[in-house]
Structure 1
Amino acid sequence: MVDVLCERLPPLHQALFSAFDHEYYPFDVYRHLDAQRVRGDCITSCQWSQT
């Protein structure tokens, strides 16, 4: 799960992409948290490395 700050809220179930360390991770908009934030769920298995 990831929370994202948006200027305009995307519709529920729209795909969003996040870039981290030159890789892209797709997320599905799961819930509108408020007027500017959404919560997303990984579409594929996302593994964030911690170093």
Structure 2
Amino acid sequence: MSDHHEHIPAPGEPSVPELELDETVAPRPEEEIADALRAKPDLGDHSAHSG
């Protein structure tokens, strides 16, 4: 059983929804790198880090 409800477009509405403005721009390379680095938890000991 699915909770998915089929969307029936209104008159004049496209049958396929348009992407949001920010979804049409490809991610920058540094965003992809940051996502990859965040995917693995940093379990290192940072207690000696001076700040």
Same fold (TM over 0.5): no
TM-score, normalised relative to structure 2: 0.19
Structure (1/2) with the larger strand percentage: 1
TM-score, normalised relative to structure 1: 0.19
**Larger Rg: 1 or 2?**
2
- Between the two structures, name the one with larger relative contact order (CA 8 Å, sep ≥ 6): 1
Structure (1/2) with the larger helix percentage: 2
